[in-house]
Amino acid sequence: MKRFIIRRLLLSVVTLGIILILITLIPNIAPGDPARKIAGGTASPERLAAVTESLGLDKSVIEQLTDLVTDVFTLDLGESFTRPGTSVWSLVSTSLFNSTKLVVFALLLVLPVAIIGGLVAAYRRDTWLDRVIVNLGVALSSLPEFVVGALFLVLLAVPIDFFRVVADPPAGASFLTELQYLLLPVFTVLTVYFGYIARITRASTITAIESDYTRTAFMRGLSTSEVFRKHVLRNSLVPTVAVVGTQLGYLFGGMVGLELIYNYPGLGRMIFDAVDSADYPLLRGGVLTVAIIYMLATLAADLIIAWMNPRARLSLSEGS
Q: Determine the Cα–Cα distance for residues 308 and 301; give it in Å rounded to an integer.
A: 10
User: HSE of 87 in the Cβ direction (CA atoms, 13 Å)?
Assistant: 9
Most confident of 66-80, 224-238, 261-275: 261-275
Picking from 250, 231, 235, the residue whose alpha carbon sits closest to that of residue 201 is: 235
3-class DSSP state of 231: helix
Predicted confidence band at 316 (pLDDT cuts at 50, 70, 90)? very low
* Straight-line distance from the first to the last Cα atom of the chain, in angstroms, rounded to the nearest whole number: 6
Predicted confidence band at 1 (pLDDT cuts at 50, 70, 90)? low
Span of 94-103, 135-144, 229-238, 241-250 with lowest mean pLDDT: 229-238
**Residue 228: DSSP 8-state:** I
For residue 320, pLDDT beyond 50: no
For residue 104, pLDDT beyond 80: yes
Q: What is the DSSP string of 213-224?
A: HHHHHHHTT--H
Please provide residue 79's backbone torsions phi and psi, each rounded to the nearest 5 degrees: -110, 150
Domain 89-319 has CATH 1.10.3720.10: yes
Please report the pLDDT score of residue 171 as a whole number: 80
Picking from 271, 293, 254, the residue whose alpha carbon sits closest to that of residue 91 is: 271
Q: What is the DSSP string of 78-131?
A: -B-SSSTT-BHHHHHHHHHHHHHHHHHHHHHHHHHHHHHHHHHHHHTTTSHHHH
- Work out the burial of residue 210: count CB atoms within 10 Å of its CB; fewer than 13 is exposed, 13-18 middle, 19 or more buried: exposed
Q: What is the dihedral of CA 297, 120, 148, 186, to 10 degrees?
A: -50
Most confident of 59-63, 173-177, 190-194, 223-227: 190-194
Please report the pLDDT score of residue 230 as a whole number: 73
Q: What angle do CA 119, 121, 126 make, to 5 degrees?
A: 145
Q: What is the CA radius of gyration of the chain?
A: 24
Q: What is the DSSP string of 21-81?
A: HHHHHHHHHSSS-HHHHHH-TT--HHHHHHHHHHHTTTS-HHHHHHHHHHHHHHT---B-S
The amino acid occupying position 316 is L
How big is the chain, counted in residues?
320
Most confident of 25-34, 142-151, 242-251: 142-151
Most confident of 28-37, 40-49, 194-203, 227-236: 194-203
Q: Determine the Cα–Cα distance for residues 313 and 186; give it in Å rounded to an integer.
A: 35
For the chain, domain boundaries? 2-74, 89-319
Convert the pLDDT of each residue in 214-233 to its tens digit.
788 777 777 777 777 777 77
Please report the pLDDT score of residue 108 as a whole number: 92
Span of 25-34, 74-83, 295-304 with lowest mean pLDDT: 25-34
For residue 319, pLDDT beyond 60: no
Please report the pLDDT score of residue 187 as a whole number: 92
Predicted confidence band at 314 (pLDDT cuts at 50, 70, 90)? low
For residue 43, pLDDT beyond 80: no
| 87 CB neighbour count, 10 Å cutoff | 18
For residue 63, pLDDT beyond 50: yes
- Work out the burial of residue 10: count CB atoms within 10 Å of its CB; fewer than 13 is exposed, 13-18 middle, 19 or more buried: exposed
In the chain, what is the greatest distance between 2 CA atoms, to the nearest angstrom? 83
Q: Determine the Cα–Cα distance for residues 259 and 149; give it in Å rounded to an integer.
A: 9
**Mean pLDDT within 313-318:** 52
For residue 33, pLDDT beyond 80: no
Contact 121, 129 (CB under 8 A): yes
pTM, full prediction: 0.81
